[in-house]
């Protein structure tokens, strides 16, 4: 089976500091062809040695304008558990969720730390809080920590709360048959280990992208994924593809 994508990007994300700070823990890797080993992408020449979240968002938006089928794996969650939507009386609409979240957690704005919102210094995070016991289906299956589980080792809570607003920016929307931006979770064989070993993660992205197995953590039908799971749990199943 031919590869579904011709370019593979892995982003080791970081929720530290502010959107414009260079972050040592924020790394970008790319493989330009299916058989090529991934190489680290350094930020453009300038005063900062490391990528900032804003810099990565703008770089990725430009990259995805190119007519090259690309899959991008980012190690933070793209949405929240169903219980979050129920408690806050939100419709299961992913784009509406992104806009609502950014309005309450403006972590893409200048000089904003995630902890500033948590402490009530900016935004209105208290109106959109979650419970550390709430988990998405993918997290339950992978035995991963909740996106609301802050201040513990191995959590993606800060990365998620700082990364979700950037998904609203032009260029990060999935283009059918050409580009997919997915969560690459650092747990279990089905997902990719970007945070710990980016090069290995890229190899696995290629492996699973060929058969679209990145979404095979679910064992339900495509209809359920499209109508119920996709808006909340970020799964996208192209036409003609199947789950296990």
Judge contact between 120 and 114, C-beta under 8 A: no
Q: What is the pLDDT of residue 217?
A: 29
- Between CA 130 and CA 137, with CA 132 as vertex, the angle to 5 degrees is 90
pTM (2 d.p.): 0.78
Q: What is the pLDDT of residue 129?
A: 97
Phi, psi of 151 (to 5 degrees): 60, 35
Low-confidence stretches of the chain (pLDDT < 70) are 1-3, 170-178, 185-244
Q: What are the extents of the domains in the chain?
A: 1-214
Please give the structure tokens belonging to residue 162: 């700082």
Judge contact between 101 and 165, C-beta under 8 A: yes
Judge contact between 100 and 94, C-beta under 8 A: no
- Provide the pairing of β-strand 27-31 with 7-12: antiparallel
- Which spans in 65-194 are helix H? 82-87, 94-104, 114-118, 137-142, 157-163
Q: What is the pLDDT of residue 175?
A: 57
Distance CA 185, CA 171 (A): 22
SS3 79: coil
3-state helix, strand, coil in the chain (%, to 5): 35, 10, 55
Q: What is the pLDDT of residue 174?
A: 56
């Amino acid at each position: 089976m031919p590869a579904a994508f011709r370019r593979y990007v892995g982003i080791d994300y970081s929720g530290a500091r502010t959107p414009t700070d260079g972050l040592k823990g924020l790394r970008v890797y790319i493989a330009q062809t299916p058989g090529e080993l991934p190489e680290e992408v350094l930020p453009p020449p300038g005063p900062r040695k490391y990528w900032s979240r804003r810099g990565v968002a703008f770089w990725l938006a430009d990259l995805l304008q190119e007519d090259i089928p690309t899959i991008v794996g980012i190690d933070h969650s793209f949405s929240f558990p169903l219980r979050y939507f129920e408690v806050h009386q939100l419709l299961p609409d992913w784009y509406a969720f992104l806009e609502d979240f950014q309005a309450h957690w403006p972590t893409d704005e200048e000089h904003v730390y995630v902890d500033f919102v948590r402490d009530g210094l900016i935004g209105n995070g208290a109106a959109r809080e979650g419970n550390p016991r709430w988990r998405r289906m993918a997290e339950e299956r992978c035995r991963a920590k909740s996106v609301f589980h802050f201040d513990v080792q191995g959590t993606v809570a800060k990365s998620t709360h700082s990364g979700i607003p950037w998904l609203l920016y032009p260029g990060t929307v999935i283009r059918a048959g050409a580009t997919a931006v997915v969560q690459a979770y650092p747990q279990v064989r089905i997902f990719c280990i970007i945070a710990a070993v980016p090069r290995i993660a890229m190899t696995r992205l290629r492996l699973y992208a060929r058969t679209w197995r990145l979404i095979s953590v679910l064992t339900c039908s495509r209809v359920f994924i499209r109508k119920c799971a996709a808006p909340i749990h970020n799964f996208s199943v192209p036409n003609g593809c199947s789950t296990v």
